[in-house]
Structure 1
């Protein structure tokens, strides 16, 4: 029974609907050599709708793999998105989701 509950929980996480118009903060972690006294480890790039934030990371940052991998999207409605794989998955989902 516990495995069924776990499987359902994982499936619900994977199939969770996202509000692509939700305003989010896009952060970029700084490179180790860019850090100095007084610098934070992450800097806010912009406040954008989720759809625009994931598009910026996947398309505009395509030539900078470190920047793609260090992107963090902070949502108010759910936990932050910290992995590039999840951002890329959301990008693919947003392409087929109608824009409002």
Structure 2
């Protein structure tokens, strides 16, 4: 489950950056809407998967609501999921 969460965290972070770094500028500056639709849909699915997996990972590791809140808030910030993945779920962090 943790491997799946790590993968989703990275993909969600990438989709977030693509949406706001590529999709939105294309939509509003170049009036090209198509990429935003696909990137937005992928990001939405990955965001929901991240939030659900974060809940189950917190239950599995017996972490409280505070840690879940940290994981969830990180998904709302640029680069937040990358930070969480490294701080809490890298092999080095899991051994500590």
When the two structures are superposed, what TM-score results if normalisation uses the length of structure 1?
Answer: 0.34
The structure whose residues are more often helix, as a share, is 2
When the two structures are superposed, what TM-score results if normalisation uses the length of structure 2?
Answer: 0.35
The structure whose residues are more often strand, as a share, is 1
